Structure 1
Amino acid sequence: MTDRHNAFLSDMAEATRLTQSGRLGEATALIQRRLGVPGRSPDGASPADASAGPHAVPRLEGPAARLGTEAAAATAHEALIPERLRENIDQMMQGLRTLAPSLRGLVGGGLHAPKPGGLEPEGVETEGGQFVERSFSNAAGARDYKLFIPSPRSGPRPLLVMLHGCTQSPDDFAAGTRMNALAEEEGIYVVYPRQSSRANAQRCWNWFEPGDQGREMGEAGIVAGLVRAICTEHPIDRSRIYIAGLSAGGAAAANIARAYPDLFAGLGVHSGLAAGCARDLPSALSAMRVGAPGAAEPGGAAGFGAGSVTQNLRVPTIVFHGEGDGTVHPRNADAVLAQAGIDALTPRRERGSSGRHSYTRTRYADETGRVQVEAWSVQGAGHAWLGGSPEGSYTDPSGPDASRAMLDFFLGHSLPGGRG
């Protein structure tokens, strides 16, 4: 069976799952992309998005974005389909419902109904690892996610949470960061929560919403609950759970690490912002444009209370930021570092180059000499995952390997006693 055929079957299986879940707009859009319907680019972007490339600027949407419904999306998608093609798609969708059991066997996973209040049924682990789609829900809310399951190893394994940026998806983010390949080498589980377009029209994590920043609240509570649920289903070393993200995902990761320092042994923020640096859309846009107020001044941030950008998280932290980032001002990296408590640590800087980029790497050690914080400032780099693959969006293949550096940093840290 060819790769192209496999990809087609995989897309059709996903369309079936979306249809069975009542998500007709998303199913229709997926079929349109597979059939190359005019009016949409091959990657599913609308004409308004067609110019978006690997270094395009993700759009930030506020609470108003939540007013969009999937019913409206379905209507918009159907308007792009010629009448004859619509009839063919209707027939195809009916056929997909019939073929669902066979497709499940061909592509594996992704077609199960979620268990109420928890994880979906687990697939069978195979040699070389799996990348499976699942769903999770708790009192804070619900999200779909994809889980990379490494090939079997002895003993409990680490878990890494990866939060994608705006407009991205778990598959896109996994492809762009190449994290699954590295995780297979190390025997690490990687979970990619999927932001819902219902929660944010551009699929940005709502890092600037107070209701999504705190412990057992909103998106922070969903991700923490998802992690705990995975720990009950898989052999996870609870002392080695880490979280990282890009852009809006990086800011959300910082929020979640701040809320759950007893759950996460390490934080990675790539082109993101500090925890609690914004409490609404205007303050979010301001932080992105010029940096959060008081970012480099301990105790100098005003108006954020316990969510201040200078609150010391004391979670081991690694930061990547391009000095040419025009979407999230590089000054925000200083705010993340301030939260990590670098004032009490001893810095050691080194300079290097990778591809067309030079960089400064600064490691901050405690009194025992152990590195607690690491910062990469990359000259000439924009708003993109450094050292990433062009197979994903918002990546810069020419630069230091952020994925490898983050894993190396994370694996040097663990929580005492495996708490969480």
Structure 2
Amino acid sequence: MRKATDSLMKKGPVDTTAIVQEAMKHATAFQRPASPPAPGAPPMRDINPPPGATAANEAEPVREHTAPPHTAHHKAHHKAHQAAPDHAAANVVPDMLANLQRTMESVREQFGGLGAGVGQDATPWPGTFTSGSYTNEAGTRDYKLYVPSTLTDAPAALVVMLHGCTQNPDDFAHGTQMNALAEELGCLVVYPAQSQAANASRCWNWFSETDQQRDRGEPSIIAGITRDVMARHPVDADQVFVAGLSAGGAMATIMGTLYPDLYAAVGVHSGLPFAAAKDLPSALAAMQGDFRRSQAPGRTVPIIVFHGDRDTTVHPANGDAVVAQGSVRGARSTAEPGQVPNGHAYTRTVHHHDDGSVHAEHWLIHGAGHAWSGGNARGSYTDDKGPDASREMMRFFRTQR
């Protein structure tokens, strides 16, 4: 893919055709699913389609009724258009993406929540779900904050939830049902919203090197939103957590890696390891299991990972790599099989430090695709046949005090 890009710059699209075709042949070699592909893995796009992409090359849109308005920030808009160096690249790369897209598509009917979106009759939660906005030198992002009716004056936990591509805070809140858990547990939940000015598919830019650095790019904005909520509400600084799905899961990994002083634990659903890619070609490869091996800098934080073993959008090997990135030499692990009644079987692997404390949990969900396990069909990209990822994440978080 990099060779094709170089050819585009020097020779143009005609001479590049053969190179792209050869690259796509090799791309299929990266698809090594642990099990045969299953129906239900949605065509979620974890990367920004280049300018000029046709409708046929775009991910299927999520129906949105409650999406907050987005303000286009000049710098973010400029960054989004730097992805394609010239018009020729914008024409050829979408064809490459379309080829990859066809390998990810499958029937939706198996899981009721895939692509369903939020309905207008969605039941409101008893707390308040309000809109906010945060701006720093890297840009502006909107967010939604849920304050449960059960919140007391005592410092509470805060969970930062990062949505996947094509999603928005309302959609993600309904799909994960994290606000319902907030009512039960008396914690705050904030949902940063990616801007279409920064990414056409509203994906967090996990594959951009700028957005893999502390106090730079999107990590600085998400950390800023976190601190802003902490300053405005009674939050226990030792109980601040971050979690996400797909592109949001990859960004959650980045946040936990760069800000171990801010986040006590991380939840990653169908995501990727830290610095798995640095540009568009390596992002495509990483999603199919051929990612950069990077050692997480500094201190690692406890992490819980969920991944379907039939995920054809983000290869399950990424889940293994997320756990391995934070592992210490000589750590012990125990595997426990389980079964959801009338649902998926799964294997839960718990990784322990030498002192017996848990530093990671890895839930491999058998037969599941690219969707939030145990999610509600009112939100997109959910699979109600899996173990309840939201509840298990909160259980894990509450043990990391």
Tell me, yes or no, if the aligned pair for 1:248 and 1:272 is still in contact at 8 Å.
Answer: yes
Letter in 2 for 1:258: T
Cα distance, 1:221 vs structure 2: 0.3
Residue in 2 aligned with 1:257? 256
Larger proportion of helix: 1
**Residues 291 and 318 of structure 1: is their aligned pair in 2 closer, same or farther, counting only changes over 3 Å?**
farther
Residue in 2 aligned with 1:20? none
1:236 aligns with 2:235: yes
Distance 1:342 1:326 in 2: 29
Cα distance, 1:62 vs structure 2: 3.6
**Residues 332 and 311 of structure 1: is their aligned pair in 2 closer, same or farther, counting only changes over 3 Å?**
farther
Tell me, yes or no, if the aligned pair for 1:321 and 1:378 is still in contact at 8 Å.
Answer: yes
Q: How does 1:374-413 map to 2 (within 5 A)?
A: 374-413=361-400
Distance 2:299 2:333 in 1: 18
Give CA deviations for 1:92-143 in whole Å, capped at 9, x if unaligned: xxxxxxxxxxxxxxx9xx89x9xxxxxxxxxxxxx94211111111122110
Distance 1:384 1:342 in 2: 29
Distance 2:368 2:40 in 1: 12
Residue in 2 aligned with 1:169? 168
Residue in 1 aligned with 2:316? 330
Q: How does 1:20-59 map to 2 (within 5 A)?
A: 55-59=41-45
Give CA deviations for 1:352-403 in whole Å, capped at 9, x if unaligned: 1113311000111112222111110011000000000011100000010000
Cα distance, 1:349 vs structure 2: 1.2
Distance 2:366 2:353 in 1: 27
Give CA deviations for 1:151-172 in whole Å, capped at 9, x if unaligned: 2313100100000000000000
Cα distance, 1:312 vs structure 2: 6.8
Number of equivalences = 294
Aligned with 1:364 (options 342, 351, 356): 351
Q: SS at 1:284's partner residue?
A: helix
Cα distance, 1:333 vs structure 2: 0.7
Tell me, yes or no, if the aligned pair for 2:344 and 2:368 is still in contact at 8 Å.
Answer: yes
**Residues 327 and 343 of structure 1: is their aligned pair in 2 closer, same or farther, counting only changes over 3 Å?**
farther
Residue in 2 aligned with 1:142? 140
**Residues 142 and 199 of structure 1: is their aligned pair in 2 closer, same or farther, counting only changes over 3 Å?**
same
1:205 aligns with 2:230: no
Distance 2:329 2:186 in 1: 34
Q: How does 1:279-294 map to 2 (within 5 A)?
A: 279-293=278-292
Point out the structure with max Rg over C-alpha.
1
Distance 1:246 1:327 in 2: 12
Q: SS at 1:403's partner residue?
A: helix
Q: SS at 2:288's partner residue?
A: helix
Tell me, yes or no, if the aligned pair for 1:165 and 1:246 is still in contact at 8 Å.
Answer: yes
Cα distance, 1:256 vs structure 2: 1.3
Cα distance, 1:310 vs structure 2: 5.6
Q: SS at 1:290's partner residue?
A: coil
Cα distance, 1:224 vs structure 2: 0.3
Distance 2:226 2:296 in 1: 27
Q: SS at 1:261's partner residue?
A: coil
1:246 aligns with 2:245: yes
How many percent of aligned residue pairs carry the same amino acid?
50
Give CA deviations for 1:22-74 in whole Å, capped at 9, x if unaligned: xxxxxxxxxxxxxxxxxxxxxxxxxxxxxxx9742112434845x99xxxxxx
Distance 2:50 2:43 in 1: 20
Letter in 2 for 1:196: S
Distance 2:184 2:295 in 1: 36
Cα distance, 1:269 vs structure 2: 0.6
Give CA deviations for 1:212-261 in whole Å, capped at 9, x if unaligned: 11111110000001111111100011111000000000001111111111
Distance 1:365 1:281 in 2: 35
**Residues 286 and 317 of structure 1: is their aligned pair in 2 closer, same or farther, counting only changes over 3 Å?**
same
Distance 2:202 2:284 in 1: 17
Q: Which has the higher contact order (CA 8 A, sep 6+)?
A: 2
Q: TM-score, normalised by structure 2?
A: 0.70
Tell me, yes or no, if the aligned pair for 1:163 and 1:253 is still in contact at 8 Å.
Answer: yes
Distance 1:272 1:280 in 2: 17
Residue in 2 aligned with 1:318? 304
Distance 2:286 2:299 in 1: 19
**Residues 313 and 57 of structure 1: is their aligned pair in 2 closer, same or farther, counting only changes over 3 Å?**
farther
Provide the alpha-carbon RMSD of the alignment: 2.2
Distance 2:357 2:169 in 1: 33
**Residues 324 and 178 of structure 1: is their aligned pair in 2 closer, same or farther, counting only changes over 3 Å?**
same
**Residues 380 and 311 of structure 1: is their aligned pair in 2 closer, same or farther, counting only changes over 3 Å?**
farther
Residue in 1 aligned with 2:130? 132
Q: SS at 1:286's partner residue?
A: helix
Tell me, yes or no, if the aligned pair for 1:54 and 1:390 is still in contact at 8 Å.
Answer: no
Give CA deviations for 1:140-191 in whole Å, capped at 9, x if unaligned: 2110000011223131001000000000000000000000001111011000
Tell me, yes or no, if the aligned pair for 2:136 and 2:221 is still in contact at 8 Å.
Answer: yes
Tell me, yes or no, if the aligned pair for 1:159 and 1:190 is still in contact at 8 Å.
Answer: yes
Q: TM-score, normalised by structure 1?
A: 0.67
Instruction: Give structure 2 stretches of 5+ with no counterpart.
Output: 1-38, 54-65, 72-124
Residue in 1 aligned with 2:78? none
Moved more, 362-371 or 165-174: 362-371
Give CA deviations for 1:272-309 in whole Å, capped at 9, x if unaligned: 0001111101111001012424xxxxxxx3xxxxxx15
Letter in 2 for 1:185: E
**Residues 410 and 200 of structure 1: is their aligned pair in 2 closer, same or farther, counting only changes over 3 Å?**
same
Distance 1:316 1:238 in 2: 16
